[in-house]
Amino acid sequence: MGRYSAGLVVLGLLALAFSTTVLAETHVVGDSNGWDLSVSFDSWADGKVFAAGDTLVFNYKPGAHNVLAVDAATYRSCKVGSSADSVAAATGTASFLLKKGVNYYICGVPGHCAAGMKLRVVAN
């Protein structure tokens, strides 16, 4: 193989490697409604494709809600382990990087998780 042919093979392999790389996406939870009691988060997630490395952005009314990344047991029970976690956040926004597998999020404000402010996302 000539010098130029080898160079073309290397360039072709590099192009193939970059073409299979998937760019991470940002998903705004609840879309324009945000992270709020009025949204069905199961419906919001239906049909969406999530990948490890994607970012979830939670927008909410400052002081009214918060968002916690939790384990499966906490997601199911809606019982927050620490009273500090149940305080509403003043920022109004939170972002989380998805890890491969199942990711769980809840609002830690008392009663909000049980009322439906919880999200389960499976990232490939």
Instruction: Say yes or no to pLDDT of 50 above 70.
Output: yes
Strand, coil or helix: what is 70?
strand
Instruction: Say yes or no to pLDDT of 7 above 50.
Output: no
pLDDT tens, position by position, 14-46: 444 444 455 889 999 999 999 999 999 989 999
- Domain locations in the chain as residue ranges: 24-123
Q: What is the DSSP letter of 83?
A: G
Phi, psi of 29 (to 5 degrees): -65, 125
Q: Can you give the pLDDT at residue 11?
A: 47
What residues have CB less than 8 Å from 13, skipping those under 6 apart? none
What distance in Å separates the CA atoms of residue 82 and residue 104, rounded to the nearest whole number?
Answer: 17
Q: Check: CATH 2.60.40.420 for 24-123?
A: yes
Question: DSSP string of 90-106?
Answer: SSSEEEEEPPSEEEEEE
CB atoms within 10 A of CB 11: 10
pLDDT tens, position by position, 106-120: 999 999 999 999 999
Question: Residues 79-93: what's their mean pLDDT?
Answer: 78
Name residue 53's amino acid: G
